[in-house]
Amino acid sequence: MGSTAIVIVLLLGLLVLVGIGVKLYDLRRKREAEGVHLQAQVSDALLRDPNVFGLAVTPTAHVPWSGHPVTLEVVGRVPTQEARDQVLRLVQAEARSVRPDVVIEDRLVVDASVARVA
């Protein structure tokens, strides 16, 4: 009788551990999907705006574990400070419309030799 109870308790414990693992995997997958959605929305906004279309600017979402805000890294080269400011305003507005707690990391470089890609 005692060994049967031990086996049942061990099986229940294993089931609980598997359930916790599945839940954590599901939470991670959902957070990554949110990051991909945010990155796609911002990329689309950059492509739709004729003032920044053609600039080599790439938004990349970094999704930490639950409880921490998503970080959106904006990387690229722009020809003027005005273009940089315009890109950052657009990225911030679009990102905040998708997720209000997003943190934007500016990695844009002003380089006068950069030409727009048409």
Structural domain harbouring 97: 32-110
What's the rounded mean pLDDT across residues 46-54?
90
> Considering the domain boundaries, does residue 2 fall inside one?
no
CA distances from 76 to 20, 36, 98 (A): 40, 19, 22
pLDDT in tens, 2-24: 889 999 999 999 999 999 999 99
* Confidence (pTM): 0.77
- pLDDT tens digit string along 56-98? 899 999 988 767 888 999 999 999 999 999 999 999 999 999 8
In a domain, 20, yes or no: no
What's the domain count of the chain? 1
Q: Is the pLDDT of residue 28 over 70?
A: yes
CATH number of the domain enclosing 65:
3.30.300.20
Q: What whole-number distance in Å separates Cα of residue 108 and Cα of residue 43?
A: 15
